[in-house]
A and B are shown apart, each in its own frame.
Chain A
Amino acid sequence: MGTINEDLRKQAQKLLANKEIDYFVGCRQGTIPFRSAPHAFRTEAELDQLTFDMTCSNNLAQFLHKNYKKGDKIGIAAKGCDARTLIQLMAENQFPREAIKIIGVPCCGVLDQKKIRDKLGGKPVLKYSLPSMEEILSGKKDTLTVEGKDFKEEIKLADVVSNNCLVCEYPSAPLADTFIQEGLKQEKASGSMNWLEKFEKMSSDERWEYFSKQYSKCIRCYACRNACPFCYCEQCIVDDSQPQWFGKSTNLSDTMVFHIIRTLHVASRCIGCGACTRACPTGVDLVTLGLYLDKEIKERFGYTPGLDPGELPALCTYKEDEKQDFIM
């Protein structure tokens, strides 16, 4: 047994060598700090660049889906949320199960660049060093070091990990062909309950105030939509102009309607990967509303997206004798 990265490369190499796949989707070192870039590895020679660590924040399943062509056979290094995205996309008939070789990797969350930036008060980082995945996963190290012009700091990983990772209930792929280093599989995090508690305790006025403030930061750039693996409509409602369902400016009412509709369109499909929130340039809280809806759907319909490639999303199906306490 080697390191996680060695094992991962070996698996990918085997799949490519045996021609079981056309290419392997994973991450390689990026050009800006704290972000590695998704890449389709087509040759064995490239594989020494394949890495997995806390900077692999992209949803690789979204990258795979964007590039997928019928008949492709693809391998992928999948964190829990990548795998759940794949499973959900399979439930939506986007590709067959056989087309994808899922290599599960043990995950301890991904970094949120915005949190690091805020922590450093915007000072640019020139160099940083992360402990190895093994050290983090086994609990031996829990900080990262950042260096810039005349400063050097240690930052606690827990302070700069993405919010959705803090509540992630499926850090490991629920469905995988192979899992790298099973022994390092992470436990479920606290779940969304703890996160939502503070919001559920708020009065309706306080929530309105909170969300109005959040959404008034939105500049309608649609990066959140572009980053989401489930926003793959060829014609998005926000681009419609005949009819134009809601205004395109940053008027708060229009912006709220946009966010309500986006949340509804991914309802019972969103697996909480946090890509939307990380993509947002102005730091709008997009995760909380999604988590809340997810919880409601779980409670009402007993459904969790991204677990079973054969199950329809809750909002695409129904049961006849369902609780309907809110209907007169």
Chain B
Amino acid sequence: MEQNQETKQTTKSENWEPRIMAFLCNWCSYAGADLAGVSRIQYPPNIRVIRVPCSGRIDPIFVLRCLQSGYDGVLVSGCHPGDCHYISGNYVARRKFVALRAILNFLGIEPGRVQFSWVSAGEGEKFSEVIKKVTDDVKKLGPASRLVKKD
């Protein structure tokens, strides 16, 4: 995740569009995104996707790294409870996310910047809804500034 030109500019201009990083579990949410794609369901083009094997693979440091490098929002998405292909990956991840959220919120980082969802391989519709919601929320918050690394 190098800081490229694109992620570095945080302009507040009229036509500012948020950049959102989405970590999608390979088996459910990524397939859900795929389904949204092949079904031609529309969703905002603000997300960049990183495919991970399981939501349990998402170390909170990935999320922090995105915020540091200037992403305006981060979405973390995995299989519904009970559907994780590694049985308990998303259960353990859920507790980790509780802790991460609590810390970010307490330090004063807007809760809307980091969001979580469960999206299955069959939920193309839901995937697009989730992306719409996250994009709207982050648009309302404006460009990220807290935690963004300025040198």
Chain A residues proximal to chain B, CB less than 8 Å: 199, 204-209, 211, 237, 245-247, 251, 253-254, 256-257, 260-261, 263-264, 267-268, 289, 292-293, 296-297, 300-301, 314-320, 322, 324, 326-328
- Tell me if B95 and A260 are in contact (CB < 8 A): no
Contact of B108 among A205, A246, A318 (CB under 8 A): A205
User: What is the interface residue range for chain B against chain A?
Assistant: 35 or more
6 extra interface residue pairs, beta carbon distance < 8 Å, beyond A208-B108, A318-B95: A207-B107, A246-B64, A260-B103, A289-B106, A326-B98, A328-B117
Is B139 in contact with chain A by the CB < 8 A criterion? Answer: no
- What is the CA–CA distance of A268 and B95 in the complex, to the nearest angstrom? 10
Residues of B with C-beta under 8 A to A247: 149
- By DSSP majority rule, is chain B's interface helix, strand, loop, or mixed? helix
Given contact pairs A320-B81, A327-B117, A300 touches B98 in the complex (Cβ within 8 A): yes
Question: Nearest Cβ distance between residue A279 and chain B, in whole angstroms?
Answer: 21
Interface window among B11-19, B20-28, B41-49, B86-94: B86-94
Contact of B110 among A204, A209, A318 (CB under 8 A): A204
- Tell me if A253 and B68 are in contact (CB < 8 A): yes
- What is the CA–CA distance of A251 and B150 in the complex, to the nearest angstrom? 8
Contact of B65 among A209, A246, A263, A300 (CB under 8 A): A246
- Tell me if A260 and B107 are in contact (CB < 8 A): yes
Given contact pairs A263-B103, A264-B100, A322-B94, A328 touches B108 in the complex (Cβ within 8 A): no
Is B37 in contact with chain A by the CB < 8 A criterion? Answer: no
- What is the CA–CA distance of A293 and B100 in the complex, to the nearest angstrom? 9
- From A204, A237, A301, A322, residue with most partner B Cβ within 10 Å: A204
